[in-house]
Amino acid sequence: MTDNDIKYKAIFGDMAQFNGMMPDCEFVDGTYGYKRVGKAFYYCERHNEKYGWSLSKKLRIDFRPIAMRHIIKAPKRWTVEDQEAGRLPEVGSIFTYRDETLTCLFIDGDGEIWAHDIDNKIVTPLLRDCKPIETPREKYDRERDEWVNSLRNKLPPLNMSFINGMIKAYEEIRPFTGDDHD
């Protein structure tokens, strides 16, 4: 997971206090950044990313947080690349089944995926009926290929240089920006 997959929700304080702190820092006291893992607290000094997090035995008695944020991590996805490589959905990853997004709980020996939907209702589709979540690049490539194939079906047989020209034209008209294309 990259830093770009992390979003933050301000709880209180000036979010500029997190400048120079590690990306997964949850609150700061002006000197140290802290994150919680279970009942333990980890701390890191500002501008000390190369050493990472250190275990704090206990918070200082005079600890007073001046800013706090909630970390929202993007969910894992089972992608087309994963499916083509023969990888199964990981526990906690999202995928689609009948146009509904599900979260994988586990896969049993019969090829059923135990998953839950947005309402936490348990669903057990067969793996062969599930579809991966497309990354923005996979979606862009699929839409481009569908556009080229639709033109190929409407026109007489074409040579490869003409097809490459159609692909180039598509990419100039609608360049890939990394965002989802709707």
The contacts of residue 116 (CB under 8 Å, 6+ apart) are 102, 103, 105, 122, 123
Residue ranges per structural domain of the chain = 3-73, 80-129, 136-173
Q: What are phi and psi of 18, to 5 degrees?
A: -85, -5
Scan for tokens 């083509």, then name that residue. Answer: 84
CA distance 165 to 38: 56
Chain centre distance of CA 36: 22
CA distance 18 to 30: 9
Is this prediction's pTM over 0.75? Answer: no
- Fold classification of 80-129 is SH3 type barrels. (2.30.30)
CA distance 28 to 35: 9
Q: One digit per residue, pLDDT tens: the chain, 182 residues?
A: 445 567 888 999 998 888 878 788 888 887 778 887 776 667 776 655 555 656 555 555 566 788 889 888 777 888 888 888 888 888 888 899 988 889 888 888 777 888 988 888 898 888 888 888 887 888 888 888 888 888 777 777 767 777 788 888 888 888 877 655 44
Neighbours of 44 (CB within 10 A): 21
